[in-house]
């Protein structure tokens, strides 16, 4: 069984798809599938004989066309008759369309993972550009999909509300737990942190407003916003923090690897005020490090309350402030116990081996007509 995963890019280390798509491809390969990852980029970066292939963007020198991601080499490579199934990750760019054309021409099944791009908050950004893409190429591609993959039931609902009626396999993203987490250090102040893209969709302005509401009552706490700024949004948040006279609040650039692991382990709370997520990998990463989480209902983490490792709350700075007060007032031992329960949960339910097995079963159903797996929802 040969499966091609296709995504527009894996060269941004802060993008969730960079980790999740590469790791999913590896997980299904561990199940005996010949799984390859095709993407745009510099072919010179590929390892000889590796399972990832980068293809040049033909229009990289044209600013208005570069973001579309046209690549004749990628398009032609997908016509390989030995390919059994195509799996697209994401929407709107040509690498998210070429596999649909190839599936139609070679009569092979097509799967698509939206990765949150059909959520209301995601659709409102660059709305008119997406409307053009829909009528010119994306609508045609989605009609070719035999089965969608959603990372949660909330994303299944987004697919249905968009008017797409094909079957949907609900399979979460996974998480690699650190084998030996660093020992938690005692810092001068306790920390509320939020790690991820600094983008309007993350609603970090609401976290800043919530922090200002309570900062005077918790002088031994600080708040850290960490991540890459998109469209100058970090500067906008910095201006808001100054206007509101935020204290002990820091906005800084992205961290990776051991530095990120250390930051998550040392934190006392992780806060995610996001408007919309299909998974929110940073929540799983925080729980894997034993840090309890506060997430808005814009992310599919109802299990934070079911498993008693965090809070799943409504939107708004007032609700976030009230929940932060509750969490910060807990004894440290109780927060640590919540974090331990969270780590046990992600270790049990978000294991890549289990996810690879589920995906293998779905591929087998799509290619060979086996019994439909339980994770596939047809209505």
Contact by Cβ (8 Å): 276, 120: yes
Q: What is the pLDDT of residues 208-257, one digit of tens each?
A: 999 999 999 999 999 999 999 988 999 999 999 999 999 999 999 999 88
The reported pLDDT for the residue numbered 15 is 78
pLDDT bracket for residue 131 (50, 70, 90) = confident
Domain boundaries, the chain: 2-174+351-377, 190-349
The residue to which tokens 């894996």 are assigned: 10
What is the C-alpha separation between 354 and 28, in angstroms, rounded?
10
Classified by CATH at the fold level, domain 2-174+351-377 comes out as Rossmann fold (3.40.50)
DSSP 252-294: E----HHHHHHHHHH-SEEEE--S--SS-HHHHHHHHTT--EE
Nearest alpha carbon to residue 152 among 134, 136, 170: 170
pLDDT bracket for residue 138 (50, 70, 90) = confident
DSSP 217: G
Rounded to 5, what percent of the chain is helix, strand, coil? 45, 15, 40
Q: Do domains 2-174+351-377 and 190-349 have the same CATH topology?
A: yes
DSSP 174-204: -----SSPPPPP--SSEEEEEES-B-GGG-H
Question: Would the pLDDT of 65 be above 80?
Answer: no
Average pLDDT over residues 69-88: 96
CATH says 190-349 is which class? alpha beta
Question: Would the pLDDT of 59 be above 90?
Answer: no
The reported pLDDT for the residue numbered 213 is 97
Helices 16-29 and 281-288: angle between axes, nearest 10 degrees: 70
pLDDT bracket for residue 122 (50, 70, 90) = confident
Question: Would the pLDDT of 182 be above 80?
Answer: no
Contact by Cβ (8 Å): 33, 3: yes
DSSP 45: G
Strands 168-170 and 147-150: parallel
Q: What is the pLDDT of residues 260-292, one digit of tens each?
A: 999 999 999 999 999 988 788 899 999 999 999
**31-45, 173-187, 258-272, 310-324: segment of lowest average pLDDT:** 173-187
pTM of the model: 0.80
């Amino acid at each position: 069984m040969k499966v091609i995963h296709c995504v527009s890019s894996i060269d941004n280390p802060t993008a969730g798809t960079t980790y999740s798509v590469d790791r999913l491809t590896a997980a299904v390969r561990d199940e005996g599938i010949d799984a390859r990852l095709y993407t745009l980029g510099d072919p010179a970066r590929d390892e000889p004989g590796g399972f990832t292939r980068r293809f040049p963007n033909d229009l990289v020198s044209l600013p208005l066309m570069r973001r579309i991601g046209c690549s004749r080499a990628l398009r032609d490579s997908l016509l390989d008759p030995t390919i059994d199934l195509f799996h697209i990750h994401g929407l709107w760019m040509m690498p998210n369309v070429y596999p649909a054309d190839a599936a139609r021409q070679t009569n092979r099944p097509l799967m698509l993972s939206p990765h949150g791009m059909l959520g209301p908050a995601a659709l409102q950004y660059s709305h008119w550009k997406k409307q053009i893409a829909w009528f010119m190429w994306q609508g045609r591609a989605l009609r070719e999909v035999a089965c969608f993959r959603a990372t949660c039931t909330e994303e299944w609902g987004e697919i249905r509300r968009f008017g797409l009626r094909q079957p949907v396999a609900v399979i979460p993203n996974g998480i690699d737990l650190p084998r030996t987490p660093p020992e938690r250090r005692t810092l001068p102040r306790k920390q509320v942190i939020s790690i991820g893209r600094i983008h309007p969709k993350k609603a970090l302005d609401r976290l800043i407003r919530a922090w200002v509401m309570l900062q005077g009552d918790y002088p031994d706490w600080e708040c850290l916003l960490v991540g890459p700024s998109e469209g100058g949004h970090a500067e906008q948040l910095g201006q808001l923090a100054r206007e509101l006279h935020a204290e002990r609040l820091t906005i800084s650039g992205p961290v990776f690897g051991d530095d990120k692991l250390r930051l998550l382990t040392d934190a006392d709370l992780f806060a995610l005020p996001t408007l919309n997520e299909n998974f929110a990998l940073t929540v799983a990463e925080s729980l894997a490090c034993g840090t309890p989480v506060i997430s808005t209902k814009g992310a599919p983490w109802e299990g934070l309350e079911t498993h008693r490792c965090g809070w799943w709350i409504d939107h708004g700075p007032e609700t976030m402030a009230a929940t932060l007060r509750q969490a910060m007032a807990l004894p440290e031992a109780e927060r640590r116990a919540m974090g331990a329960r969270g780590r046990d949960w992600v270790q049990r339910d978000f294991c890549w081996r289990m996810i690879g097995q589920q995906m293998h079963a779905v591929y087998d159903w799509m290619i060979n007509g086996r019994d439909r797996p339980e994770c596939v929802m047809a209505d």
